[in-house]
């Protein structure tokens, strides 16, 4: 019976098995007088889904196939991006296509120049890329004019960003990155499953008679608080170290280690070996997860002035996202803790499914395998 449940849940969750991080693109604009130099990085995985870049359908996108689709990529992308100053759209001239590699795969790099009709004191950018295909997609915007840097995040709910260079937008940056942090923990399946694995056994305990439900909700909440505090402190520390570029680790190593942390946490739920030391797992692997969180901010190549505000906002958003998950999970889990369905299906079968999904992630990230077609 349990094996059938595991198989059914694994099939239902199979899309998660090939998801890495949420879909992002990175739009960098440099303003000088009435000219804008632009660099727009868009994931080949997303472009393949929208346009079909793999012409021979062999599962790989070659440089030759990419070059054959350059005009289609440019037309598709810029039909969904408008940049105006003084209400007038600037004249665009394309530069040669490039590629770049991020932790979640290869990106097409669209380089372009915009010539505007007047000196640029303010900009209006309207962005609609992939929103009709993927509501989780985000466009991360960075605009630089001399030493003045403005940041923004495009989403289905915020498709236009207006920038006035004479005005400070620190509060806007902070609030946008709070939202981005919340969204990142909710859509970062590896971080989310790791957190769930840590929380699943928090309402029960292993005894000589098997699993028994905790009898004190306050004590259980205290135990969960220790786990969340350990995870928060650890990932906040390494997130700051990575964004400030004081410590740097290879992205493949980080992503593989995150997948391994999910495997270890899931196995611990099936055959406990850390027992009452879940906080230790949370802290130890929280250090690794912090480097994973940092990938979002590092991709923006932030200046020191913008870095502090965005880092605080993003980290605060991650914590809000975590607390939301805990506040929903804990009362439900505590209510179900003494039932067979929680102890055998939710905890053990669920952890088995999570371990299998994380193993697929680990193989993909460590050896570059593609076990699911995109």
Contact predicate 109/39, CB 8 Å: yes
CA distances from 39 to 79, 109, 143, 321, 374 (A): 16, 7, 11, 31, 26
What pTM was computed for the model?
Answer: 0.66
Of 320, 322, 267, 335, whose CA–CA distance to 289 is shortest?
Answer: 322
Q: Is the pLDDT of residue 201 over 80?
A: yes
Distance CA 108, CA 115 (A): 23
Helix, coil or strand: residue 55: coil
Q: What is the pLDDT of residue 4?
A: 43
Q: Is the pLDDT of residue 352 over 90?
A: yes
Q: Is the pLDDT of residue 168 over 70?
A: no
Contact predicate 60/173, CB 8 Å: no
Contact predicate 140/21, CB 8 Å: no
For residue 109, name the pLDDT band (cuts at 50, 70, 90). Answer: very high
Residue with the larger pLDDT of the pair 16 and 114: 114
Contact predicate 228/199, CB 8 Å: no
Distance CA 107, CA 116 (A): 27
DSSP symbols for 96-144 = --EEEEETTEEEEEEEEEEE-SS--SEEEEEE-TTTTT-TT-EEEEEEE
Helix, coil or strand: residue 49: helix
Distance CA 41, CA 129 (A): 12
Q: What is the pLDDT of residue 190?
A: 87
For residue 320, name the pLDDT band (cuts at 50, 70, 90). Answer: very high
For residue 372, name the pLDDT band (cuts at 50, 70, 90). Answer: very low
Contact predicate 85/124, CB 8 Å: yes
DSSP symbols for 183-205 = HHHHH-HHHHHHHHHHHGGGGEE
Q: Is the pLDDT of residue 167 over 80?
A: no
**Triad 341, 346, 351: Cα angle to 5°:** 145
Distance CA 133, CA 129 (A): 9
Q: What is the pLDDT of residue 18?
A: 44
Phi-psi region for residue 301, left (φ > 0), alpha (ψ -120 to 50) or beta? left
Q: Is the pLDDT of residue 356 over 90?
A: yes
Q: Is the pLDDT of residue 219 over 60?
A: yes
What is the residue-averaged pLDDT of the chain?
Answer: 83
């Amino acid at each position: 019976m349990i094996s059938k449940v595991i198989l059914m849940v694994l099939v239902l969750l199979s899309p998660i098995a090939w998801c890495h991080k949420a879909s992002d693109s990175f739009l960098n604009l440099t303003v000088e007088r009435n000219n804008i130099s632009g660099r727009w990085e868009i994931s080949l995985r997303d472009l393949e889904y929208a346009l079909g870049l793999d012409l021979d359908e062999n599962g790989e996108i070659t440089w030759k196939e990419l070059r054959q689709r350059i005009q289609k990529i440019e037309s598709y992308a810029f039909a969904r991006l408008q940049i105006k100053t003084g209400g007038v759209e600037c004249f665009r001239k394309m530069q040669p296509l490039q590629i770049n590699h991020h932790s979640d795969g290869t990106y097409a790099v669209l380089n372009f120049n915009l010539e505007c009709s007047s000196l640029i004191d303010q900009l209006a950018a309207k962005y609609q890329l992939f929103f009709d295909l993927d509501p989780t997609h985000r466009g991360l915007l960075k605009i630089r004019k001399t030493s003045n840097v403005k940041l923004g995040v495009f989403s289905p709910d915020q498709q236009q960003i207006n920038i006035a260079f004479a005005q400070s937008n620190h509060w806007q940056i902070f609030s946008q990155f709070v939202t981005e942090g919340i969204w990142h923990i909710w859509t970062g399946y590896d971080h989310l499953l790791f957190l769930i694995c840590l929380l699943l056994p928090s309402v029960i305990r292993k005894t000589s008679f098997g699993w028994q439900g905790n009898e004190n909700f306050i004590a259980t909440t205290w135990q969960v608080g220790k786990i969340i505090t350990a995870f928060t402190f650890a990932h906040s520390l390494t997130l700051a170290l990575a964004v400030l570029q004081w410590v740097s680790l290879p992205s493949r190593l980080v992503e593989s280690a995150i997948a391994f942390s999910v495997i270890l946490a899931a196995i611990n739920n099936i055959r406990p070996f850390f027992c009452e030391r879940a906080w230790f797992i949370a802290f130890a692997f929280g250090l690794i997860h912090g480097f994973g969180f940092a990938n979002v901010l590092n991709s923006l190549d932030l200046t020191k002035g913008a870095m502090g505000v965005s880092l605080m906002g993003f980290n605060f958003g991650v914590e809000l996202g975590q607390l939301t998950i805990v506040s929903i999970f804990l009362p439900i889990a505590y209510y179900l803790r003494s039932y067979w369905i929680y102890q055998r299906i939710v905890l053990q079968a669920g952890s088995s499914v999570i371990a299998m999904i994380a193993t697929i992630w680990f193989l993909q990230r460590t050896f570059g395998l593609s076990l699911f077609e995109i």
